[in-house]
Structure 1
Amino acid sequence: MTASAFRALHHDRPAGDPLVLPGPWDAASARAFVDAGFPALAVPSAGVAASLGYEDGATPADEMFAAIARITRAVAVPVSADIEDGYGLAPGELVARLLDAGAVGCNLEDSSGGVLQDARRHADRLAEVRAAAGGRLFVNARVDTFLHGAGDPAEAVARARLYVAAGADCIYPIAAPATALAAVRAGVEGPVNALATPDGPAVAECGRLGATRVTFGPALQRRATAAAREIAGRLRG
């Protein structure tokens, strides 16, 4: 599948009908989501990290790209991948590794090591990634002000506008509460990604607030692990 096919899924959507992208952590979970009828997938780095025995943010780049490749080989739908802050790779190398792994999109976050980065410098990096990728990658620019900043919606909107101007296809204000998500939606042109969590907006509410697409981070992998623990407990009696 191509980035253009993935990009098309984000546009001309009815109001309140976001694109729902489950987050597989391995080939088996990817196939399960596709078999359920989902048209595309969004690989969460934290879910992959847990499946490989790493803490979130500690997966070596080689292992992350290998995991993405195993997922893309297993399914015939577009796959986007969370690649954290890009692992320190130069834009050209980062794009090449994503394409080699079969991804058609990526998340790039504007924090590193839990610290927000300079927004203009990050916008420049996004522009370099877009230039290296051409139209071959859908770039989802993660805005981390609600994770590692003061949680100011105005700052999130300002960052988001810089990233859209730099060529980002979508803005992802991760962990934004409902009121802040609505503010970002009102202040930004183009697609907006919302995170659905047990403690935040659910999928339907994300749609009502104007989200173009909804992802789940590592929540689905954690639910699967919890189910495995429950089974293990029953087996132990």
Structure 2
Amino acid sequence: MGTIAARTAEFRRLHEAGCFVMPNPWDVGSARLLAGMGFAALATTSAGFAWTTGKPDNTLTLDEALAHLQLVAAATHAPLNADFQNGYALDPGDLVENVTRACGTGIAGLSIEDYSGDPAAPLLEFDFAVERIRAARAAIDDSGTGVVLTARTEGFVWDQPDLDEAIRRLVAFAEAGADCLYVPRITSHHDVAAVVSAVAPKPVNLLVNKPFITAAQAAELGVRRISTGGVLARTAWKAFLAAAGELARDGTVSGFVDLPDVDALLSAP
């Protein structure tokens, strides 16, 4: 998988059968370590990356995101899926331009969501959301890269957990050309099975950001791809904040732990 084209072809192959785990590194170092563990593919996390820059999630610019994608895609031979949020644009024409630029960074896939940017009315109007997926599909096709397009609907993320509406959107996104479908934050086996059934035979990505399911159980339900979102970054930040907080508060370091030889891990071929 030395070339970008080969990695993209491999990423497409992974979506054809079975179930694979695609964890989310937040920088080049974490990407290389995860790839060294043997994961078949990786995905970026907008939140995890934003925190490394000292910013909250959803505040990075398009240029910052594209530069990050290029760095992480070049860091390993593993196919990389981009958390491309809402495409850093609402207008379908602008979305086409941004997706085209993303396809030139070396990624093997990207996701486009239907978040409006307004927490008070978080979901874009249905027909407009579908039009945007159709625009992203056209941009990828015109790029000739074969990048895998994932369409995601954000109702469960923004406290609008309407499974019927989520499925309605995913079915329409699939018809508009999405290769993979995704409802982040569904957490019941029933909901997972319902989504898989509704969009079949298209593959489904499942976010596992808390212990509600195992990889084996997800595979039994027909999930094709498992991602972790920002949870690995959150786990790292939790340990950092706990240890630093103890030092600041008490002047003690009981939270400090022995680590593996990270230098050796990063030096491995």
**Normalised TM-score (structure 1):** 0.91
Q: Does 1:155 align with 2:165?
A: yes
Where does structure 1 differ by over 6 angstroms across 4 or more consecutive aligned residues? none
- Distance in 1 (alpha carbons) for counterparts of 2:52 and 2:100: 24
CA displacement 1:100-142 (0-9 Å, x = unmatched): 3211211111112231012221111111111121152111111
- Residue 144 of structure 1 aligns to a residue whose secondary structure is coil
Q: Pick closer, same or farther for the CA change 1:183–1:36 going to 2, 3 Å.
A: same
Taking a change above 3 Å as real, the CA distance of residues 101 and 12 of structure 1, as seen in their structure-2 partners, is same
Of 97-106 and 226-235, more deviation after overlay is shown by: 226-235
The alignment status of 1:164 with 2:174, answered yes or no, reads yes
Deviation at 1:149, TM superposition (A): 5.9
Aligned match of 1:71: 72
The corresponding residue for 1:195 is 207
Distance 1:193 1:12 in 2: 13
Task: Give the number of the structure whose alpha-carbon radius of gyration is greater.
Answer: 2
Alpha-carbon distance, 1:236 to partner: 4.4
Aligned equivalent of 1:85: 86
Counterpart CA distance in 1 for 2:239 and 2:158 is 31
Q: Deviations over 1:48-85 (max 9, x none)?
A: 11111111111111111111111111111111111111
Aligned length: 233
Q: 1: distance between equivalents of 2:215 and 2:51?
A: 24
Contact 2:88 2:95 in 1 (8 A): no
Paired AA for residue 58 in structure 1: T
- With CA pairs under 8 Å and 6+ residues apart, which has the higher RCO, 1 or 2? 1
Q: Matched residues in 1 for 2:151 and 2:123: separation?
A: 13
Checking the alignment, whether the CA contact within 8 Å between 1:196 and 1:206 is kept in structure 2 is no
The unaligned stretches of length 5 or more in structure 2 are 254-269
* Matched residue type, 1:95: V
CA distance in 1, matches of 2:74, 2:128: 34
Runs of at least 5 residues in structure 1 that lack an aligned partner in the other structure = none
1:158, distance to aligned residue in structure 2 (A): 1.0
Of residues 201-210 and 77-86 in structure 1, the stretch that sits farther from structure 2 once superposed is: 201-210
Checking the alignment, whether the CA contact within 8 Å between 2:87 and 2:99 is kept in structure 1 is: no
TM-score (norm 2): 0.80
Matches of 1:170 and 1:197 in 2, distance apart? Answer: 19
Kept in 1, the 8 Å contact 2:45–2:230? The answer is yes
Counterparts of 1:37 and 1:100, CA distance in 2: 25
